[in-house]
């Protein structure tokens, strides 16, 4: 016995939007790998194969930061410029840049293009898409420009005017896009472990990119609205006026950053190869920096290979969570984890709905969050299994590498340069899926769900045992 459930008509999403997003990243990676493979892009006596250049192009476009060779030693200035362009394109998304050209030349975006941009930018509406894209570029240019100027105060006196400016621009873009690429040498930012200015500027850029454009736009518009309607500024009322998304992002980011800092500080406090030789203020600064970089940035001021196993495991979990939606960070996203935890809390309390900040979360959002979490974890487990077969390394280092690649973080415990051909291919796949995976998985889920609207069949319910 079965009954058919009738639903209201629902506009279907075009699955070609998913393909266009995925193909745009693939095309940029392919072009980037060919450019990096040219003699003008790398040093004369380079030992890198095309697979290495493909690896770096994928890492740059997917804003990860994993490299098989030291960037500044392997690539010429032309190669480095190609890498930073790939980072900028990958951070914002090729389709975003393409759509910006439409806006600049005052050409209207077609409905199909708006659908693609809506999904690529994690927007819930097609309204004012052109204005939103302009704001994305405005905030990007502002943060990267200010970041570059701030870094010049440190890099120009040390490297000279031209080199200092070049280094400042490169690392500002890399930090804001959460890419983790650097051209300072083989030790990332370890030589700056006690430099308060460089640490805070880099961390500020990482956080700015990781929070997401939606949050920054909401913060600005809410502030403008608040000033227009209230004579005196009160922080509590201003925070209450923010959207639910912004509140969740800010709180979860705060907890993850400072909670992570406390855990790293405690675990590594007496490690002679990481925090122990540093003074107390430097230990706090280094712990803070490493916690921030876990938001999928990939820079490091201490040696990742020398970390305790417990620290590597904790950092792997933090990397898997990643940053926030509609930004430059990777991972399954903070909001996904928060929604999952709220769902568990609702089950334990016997609530029918998920409530937070006097708002109810839609069931479809919960389903999407659970789908992203389960599928993402499954992908990382499969990748970890393959690497455990192909690579001769400590298991915890494999876990660290896989989670870092999938979450597009870019931290490594020294495993990346020693990967086999199979290992490099797996990490390339993990980085690619990690960059577009969450978007693609959600869209595929929505497409499948929407295509069955009005066609789903309800059979007789029957009880089964679980747990």
CB 330 within 8 A of CB 408: yes
Q: Largest Cα–Cα distance in the chain?
A: 80
In the predicted structure, residue 7 carries a pLDDT above the cut 50 = no
Residue 463 lies in a domain: no
Closest CA to 329 of 462, 201, 168, 178: 178
Count of domains observed in the chain: 1
Long-range contact list for 243-247, CB < 8 A, 24+ apart? Answer: 243/218, 244/356, 244/357, 244/359, 245/214, 245/215, 245/218, 245/325, 245/335, 246/214, 246/215, 246/218, 246/219, 246/222, 247/357
In the predicted structure, residue 74 carries a pLDDT above the cut 60 = yes
Give the pLDDT confidence of 45-62 residue by residue, as tens digits.
777 889 999 999 999 998
Q: Rounded to an integer, what distance in angstroms lies between the CA atom of residue 156 and that of residue 231?
A: 43
Residue 460 lies in a domain: no
| pTM for the whole structure | 0.85
Q: Rounded to an integer, what distance in angstroms lies between the CA atom of residue 21 and that of residue 308?
A: 39
Q: Residue 244: which pLDDT band, with cuts at 50, 70 and 90?
A: confident
Q: Indicate the angle between helix axes 94-104 and 129-159, nearest 10 degrees.
A: 110
Task: Tell me the pLDDT of the chain averaged across its residues.
Answer: 83
| Least confidently predicted of 5-14, 52-61, 439-448 | 5-14
Residue 417 lies in a domain: yes
N-to-C CA span, the chain: 29
Look at 399 and 134; give whichever has higher pLDDT. Answer: 399
- Give the residue carrying structure tokens 């007789």: 460
Distance of CA 12 to the CA centre of its chain: 28
Q: Rounded to an integer, what distance in angstroms lies between the CA atom of residue 95 and that of residue 149?
A: 28
Q: What is the pLDDT of residue 2?
A: 44
Q: Rounded to an integer, what distance in angstroms lies between the CA atom of residue 64 and that of residue 405?
A: 7
- Residue range(s) defining the domain that contains residue 40: 13-454
- The count of other CB atoms within 10 Å of the CB of residue 114 is 19
DSSP E strand boundaries for 164-261: none
Q: Which two tokens stand for residue 463?
A: 């009880």
Q: What radius of gyration do the chain's Cα atoms show?
A: 23
In the predicted structure, residue 236 carries a pLDDT above the cut 80 = no
CB 390 within 8 A of CB 40: no
Give the pLDDT confidence of 137-194 residue by residue, as tens digits.
888 889 999 999 999 999 999 999 999 999 999 999 999 988 889 999 888 899 999 8
Residue 291 lies in a domain: yes
In the predicted structure, residue 15 carries a pLDDT above the cut 50 = no
Q: Rounded to an integer, what distance in angstroms lies between the CA atom of residue 150 and that of residue 204?
A: 11
Residue 204 lies in a domain: yes
**Which string of DSSP letters, residue by residue, matches 316-333?**
HHHHHH-S-TTSS--SS-
In the predicted structure, residue 122 carries a pLDDT above the cut 60 = no
In the predicted structure, residue 12 carries a pLDDT above the cut 70 = no
Q: Residue 6: which pLDDT band, with cuts at 50, 70 and 90?
A: very low
Residue 57 lies in a domain: yes
Residue 3 lies in a domain: no
Residue 347 lies in a domain: yes
């Amino acid at each position: 016995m079965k009954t058919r459930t009738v639903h209201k008509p629902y506009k279907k999403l075009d699955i070609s939007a998913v393909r266009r997003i995925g193909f745009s990243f693939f095309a940029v990676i392919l072009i980037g790998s060919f450019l990096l493979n040219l003699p003008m892009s790398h040093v004369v006596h380079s030992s890198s194969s095309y697979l290495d250049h493909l690896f770096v192009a994928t890492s740059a476009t997917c804003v990860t930061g994993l490299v098989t060779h030291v960037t500044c030693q392997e690539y010429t200035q032309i190669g480095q410029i190609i890498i930073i362009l790939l980072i900028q394109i990958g951070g914002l998304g090729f389709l975003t840049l393409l759509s910006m050209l439409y806006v600049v030349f005052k050409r209207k975006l077609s409905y199909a293009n708006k659908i693609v941009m809506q999904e690529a930018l994690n927007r819930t509406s097609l309204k004012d898409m052109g204005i939103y894209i302009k704001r994305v570029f405005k905030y990007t240019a502002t943060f990267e420009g200010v970041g570059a100027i701030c870094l010049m105060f440190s890099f120009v006196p040390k490297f000279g005017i031209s080199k200092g400016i070049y280094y400042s621009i490169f690392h500002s873009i890399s930090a804001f896009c959460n890419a983790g690429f650097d051209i300072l040498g083989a030790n990332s930012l370890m030589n700056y472990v006690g430099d308060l200015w460089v640490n805070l500027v880099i961390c500020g850029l990482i956080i700015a990119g990781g929070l997401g454009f939606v949050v920054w736009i909401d913060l600005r518009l809410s502030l403008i609205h608040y000033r227009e309607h209230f004579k005196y500024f009160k922080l509590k009322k201003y925070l209450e006026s923010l959207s639910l998304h912004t509140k969740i992002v800010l709180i979860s980011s705060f907890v993850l950053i400072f909670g992570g800092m406390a855990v790293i500080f405690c675990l590594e406090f007496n490690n002679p190869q990481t925090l122990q030789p540093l003074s107390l203020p430097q230990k706090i600064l280094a712990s803070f920096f490493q916690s921030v970089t876990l938001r999928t940035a990939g820079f490091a001021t201490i040696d990742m290979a020398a970390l305790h196993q417990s620290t590597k495991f904790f950092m792997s979990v933090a990397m898997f969570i990643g940053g926030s939606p509609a930004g430059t960070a990777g991972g399954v996203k903070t909001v996904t984890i928060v929604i999952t935890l709220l769902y568990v809390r609702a089950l334990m309390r016997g609530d029918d709905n998920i409530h937070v900040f006097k708002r109810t979360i839609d069931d479809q959002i919960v389903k999407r969050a659970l789908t992203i979490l389960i599928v993402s974890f499954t992908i990382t487990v499969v990748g970890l299994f393959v690497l455990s077969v192909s690579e001769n390394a400590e298991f915890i280092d494999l876990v660290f590498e896989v989670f870092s690649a999938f979450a597009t973080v870019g931290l490594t415990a020294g495993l990346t340069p020693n990967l086999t051909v199979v290992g490099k291919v797996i990490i390339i796949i993990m980085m690619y899926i990690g960059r577009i995976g969450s978007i693609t998985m959600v869209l595929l889920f929505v497409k499948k769900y929407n295509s069955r609207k009005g066609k789903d069949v309800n059979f007789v319910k029957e009880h089964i045992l679980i747990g």
